[in-house]
Structure 1
Amino acid sequence: MTKSRSPAGAAADQSYSPLYFLASLGAGGLTVTFFMYLMFWVPHPGRPVPLFEDLMTVFAKDSLPMKGGVVVAMLGIAVFAFLNVKVLLWNFAALSRFKKTDTYSDLCKTNGETTLLAGPLATAMTINGGFIVGLVFVPQLWSVVEYLFPAAMVAFLAVGIWAFRLIGHFLGRVLAEGGAFDMTAHNSFAQLLPAFALSMVAVGLSAPAAMSGNSLVVGVSLVLSTFFGVTAMLYAAYASVTAFSSMLMHGTAREAGPTLMVIVPLLTVLGIMMLRQNHGLHASFDVHGAPAETLVLLARILTIQIVFSLLGLLVMSRQKYFSDFVFGNKLSAGSYALVCPGVALSVMLHFFINKGLVGTQIVDKFSLSYWVLTALALAFQWAMIALVLRLNRQHFKGAATAATAVPAE
């Protein structure tokens, strides 16, 4: 394999895998966790999201703790948005070099071809993160936002087409050629990566439905996001059922243990898509939903996420995954998949608390019980920050002295 030059280090250079796009994805996800502070703590009357002007109002009039929260959120968004873009650009350069190697040709003949979907997945997250950066740091953005929504949908459609082309090449090969898919290597949820990529495109396409005042834009957003969202659900259902059958026969692939929890971020992304669509239906087409319905929807999503999180932790603890690949001397690009569930749980808890419990008046906003529950979301967030910093030190800094594992299929 040709050696790539990275902003960092030897392990990622010497054993590149498309799964390193997940390093960019994780940073982008952390950007969203900091935006949750602003989304649910900062007043933004008359608009579905907070803007730069709302933050300036906090600095001018609010209490010191609120100002501190906004400062932390803005710093977190700036740092992790920068890291998100930096690692994404490095991945594009490294992938370009990787495609010229025999290793890439071999990858495209195995189940592992779907790891290429990490590219559109991370790119869609970066577009979402870019919109957050604009809301937080660009004055008067709302005055031109209606021009930005069509452009954003075109960008997400381009990423969606890229994802479909990769999926089409993979499915065309394995469905047309007998024996091209190895069921014995299907003993993980790694094959849910295409569904995750499609869901990230779907949530991006649903943003105009929640924020645009133009009924045509909202309608197009609803239809396109539904197409990609439902496709993601169908793919996830098929891939998870067949994978679980293989895991029962062959056990879970040890290095692919983190994929058991890919359901968690997949559901958070699809859940946000549904909330955005419901808001668009309410604001533009006078279709009303009760707060209790939102509470039940979020509770169901959170329940499934908790179940799959416990399953993944159980299997990985039995296989001693953390002692080897997180705290030990073995390296796997797939370890970055561990960041996604923690980030997704943090984000979903914010929505469950604010849109579910507060929305139904079960919990009063900013009460003691509110902050106790919110502390759980913050704990997941800061644990994932520590994990990202740990993994970046392992994979992107220093000499590659640790054993490097082959990417999971």
Structure 2
Amino acid sequence: MTQPASLQERPPYSPLYFLATLGAGGLMVTFFMFMMFWVPHPNQPVPIFEDIMAAFGDGPLALKVAIVVAMLGIAGFAVLLIKSLIWNLRSLSAFRLSEAYDALRRSNAETQLMAIPLALAMVVNGGFILGLVFVPGLWTVVEFLFPMAMVAFLLIGGYGLLIMRDFFGRVLIKGGFDCSTNNSFAQVLPAFAFAMVGVGMAAPAAMSSVALTVGVSFILSSFFIVVALLLAVANVILGLRAMMEHGASAESAPTLLVIVPLITVVTIAWLRQSHGLHVHFDVHGGAGETLSLLTTLLMVQLAILALGLTVLRRFGYVSKFVTGPGLSAGSYALVCPGVALSVMLHFWLNKGLVASGLVEKFSLIYLLISAVAVGMQVTMIWLVLKLNSKHMRREGTRAAVPAQ
């Protein structure tokens, strides 16, 4: 008879648990989409506290309800993000003293450490959302905050580069990378991490009124985005080859979907850069170009989603590791594509379909597409709470035996 998850032996700690922090931050972003596209903000590219309060005071009942839900959601998942981050940092501190950590640093799984800068970059993004939504007068000092944010992202990105320096310095000099166990897209995680740094670094390009800040933001964000794309292309090819030869890894199957959030993050970074170039450097693009870009990348995401869900279904992954008794830190990777698709749909709808005149804002088709995005969001909320109840409500954490 199968024991319930609470009675089974708990799995050891893995750096992949930082994906729980990432998931909480991602859900903050999904609630911010309500503000971004439904609250009028004519004086700056993003809604701020004053815009939100004005809309709450003068807007229709439906908008008032959406604002309340969004503010509660952002605040609630900010708390969850902080709790998850503290839990992970404490567990990581103990994990670094273990033999399992040394073993991880000698294996393919060394790149799991990139989940740390990935989560830290999301924490900074989440902090900025909290400031926009809850801090009055923030926009009066925002030009001082942008350089500070870029320094923070530069430090996080530098930390990620050090991790990858050690990894490539080992495998390219000494060898030892096991291609036979690389039968997943687990090695695409570093690309996702650098893309998250890049999208955060690109925020001042979209929001600053100072040309120098925009230019520096554009240059630095371009570096991390290019690094992310190079790593993604190389590791998708390596992983696909291993899967075609050895079959996909059942426990690592969720990594097949990591390209979905990678595309969303890179897309938002490009949109931010494009806005800054348009406003400050006389680079002009039309609504049709944005619609074409968003539609193409969304279709790529849907194709990848179809492939990944097919593999997950064949392995019975959800019934084993989500609703069933199986425990795997990698199951948190399932949150990322759902959050990413929800956010991408909001951008495709508002920056693509509405901006190009194909769909009228708040029309029936607009509400239906928005409902799909919200439905994905609700599903991911359930998934995060479900996984947290299985993995984090436990006494203590042991050091992990690194997965390959």
Superposed pair shares fold, TM > 0.5: yes
- What letter is aligned with 2:169? G
Q: Is the 8 A contact 1:256 1:408 kept in 2?
A: no
* Residue in structure 1 matched with residue 337 of structure 2 by the alignment: 341
Determine whether 1:16 maps to 2:9. Answer: no
* Residue in structure 2 matched with residue 203 of structure 1 by the alignment: 199
Determine whether 1:124 maps to 2:124. Answer: no
2-structure distance, mates of 1:241, 1:301? 19
* Residue in structure 1 matched with residue 381 of structure 2 by the alignment: 385
Q: Is the 8 A contact 1:29 1:340 kept in 2?
A: yes
Report how far residue 408 of structure 1 moved: 4.0
Report how far residue 89 of structure 1 moved: 1.8
* Residue in structure 1 matched with residue 62 of structure 2 by the alignment: 65
Determine whether 1:370 maps to 2:369. Answer: no
Report how far residue 86 of structure 1 moved: 1.5
- What letter is aligned with 1:369? I
* Residue in structure 2 matched with residue 226 of structure 1 by the alignment: 222
What secondary structure does 2:252 align onto? helix
* Residue in structure 2 matched with residue 112 of structure 1 by the alignment: 109
Report how far residue 58 of structure 1 moved: 1.4
* Residue in structure 2 matched with residue 248 of structure 1 by the alignment: 244
* Residue in structure 2 matched with residue 278 of structure 1 by the alignment: 274
Q: Is the 8 A contact 1:11 1:394 kept in 2?
A: no
Task: List alignment gaps of at least 5 residues for structure 2.
Answer: 1-5
Among 138, 143, 150, the alignment partner of 1:146 is: 143
- What letter is aligned with 1:92? L
Label 1:398 to 1:106 Cα distance change in 2 as closer, same or farther (>3 A). Answer: closer
Q: Is the 8 A contact 1:159 1:201 kept in 2?
A: yes
* Residue in structure 2 matched with residue 50 of structure 1 by the alignment: 47
* Residue in structure 2 matched with residue 160 of structure 1 by the alignment: 157
Report how far residue 46 of structure 1 moved: 2.1
> What's the CA shift string for 1:148-198, capped at 9, x where partnerless?
0000000000000000000010111011013x1000111000000110110
Question: TM-score, normalised to structure 2's length?
Answer: 0.96
* Residue in structure 1 matched with residue 350 of structure 2 by the alignment: 354
Report how far residue 60 of structure 1 moved: 1.5
Question: TM-score, normalised to structure 1's length?
Answer: 0.95
Report how far residue 285 of structure 1 moved: 1.1
* Residue in structure 2 matched with residue 96 of structure 1 by the alignment: 93
What secondary structure does 1:157 align onto? helix
1-structure distance, mates of 2:346, 2:69? 17
Report how far residue 121 of structure 1 moved: 0.1
Among 294, 314, 318, the alignment partner of 1:318 is: 314
Percent identity, please: 56
Among 295, 298, 301, the alignment partner of 1:299 is: 295
* Residue in structure 1 matched with residue 81 of structure 2 by the alignment: 84
Q: Is the 8 A contact 2:103 2:402 kept in 1?
A: no
Determine whether 1:174 maps to 2:171. Answer: yes
- What letter is aligned with 1:42? V
Q: Is the 8 A contact 2:104 2:401 kept in 1?
A: no
2-structure distance, mates of 1:121, 1:331? 22
What secondary structure does 2:97 align onto? coil
1-structure distance, mates of 2:301, 2:52? 32
- What letter is aligned with 2:67? V
Report how far residue 399 of structure 1 moved: 7.2
* Residue in structure 1 matched with residue 3 of structure 2 by the alignment: none
Among 38, 43, 49, the alignment partner of 1:41 is: 38
Report how far residue 63 of structure 1 moved: 1.2
2-structure distance, mates of 1:237, 1:390? 33
- What letter is aligned with 2:50? E
> What's the CA shift string for 1:284-342, capped at 9, x where partnerless?
11211000000010011101111111111100111111111011111000000000000
* Residue in structure 1 matched with residue 71 of structure 2 by the alignment: 74
2-structure distance, mates of 1:12, 1:61? 54
Q: Is the 8 A contact 1:333 1:407 kept in 2?
A: no
Determine whether 1:193 maps to 2:189. Answer: yes
Label 1:288 to 1:10 Cα distance change in 2 as closer, same or farther (>3 A). Answer: farther
* Residue in structure 2 matched with residue 395 of structure 1 by the alignment: 391
1-structure distance, mates of 2:202, 2:279? 14
> What's the CA shift string for 1:229-268, capped at 9, x where partnerless?
0110001000000110000000001000000000000000
What secondary structure does 1:125 align onto? helix
What secondary structure does 2:283 align onto? coil
Label 1:230 to 1:406 Cα distance change in 2 as closer, same or farther (>3 A). Answer: same
> What's the CA shift string for 1:47-69, capped at 9, x where partnerless?
10000001110121111111000
- What letter is aligned with 1:269? V
2-structure distance, mates of 1:99, 1:388? 26
* Residue in structure 1 matched with residue 259 of structure 2 by the alignment: 263
1-structure distance, mates of 2:356, 2:245? 45
CA RMSD of aligned residues (A): 1.7
Label 1:18 to 1:169 Cα distance change in 2 as closer, same or farther (>3 A). Answer: same
Q: Is the 8 A contact 2:100 2:400 kept in 1?
A: no
Count how many residue pairs are aligned between Structure 1 and Structure 2.
397
2-structure distance, mates of 1:290, 1:150? 29
* Residue in structure 2 matched with residue 28 of structure 1 by the alignment: 25
* Residue in structure 2 matched with residue 332 of structure 1 by the alignment: 328
Q: Is the 8 A contact 1:282 1:288 kept in 2?
A: yes
1-structure distance, mates of 2:272, 2:303? 25
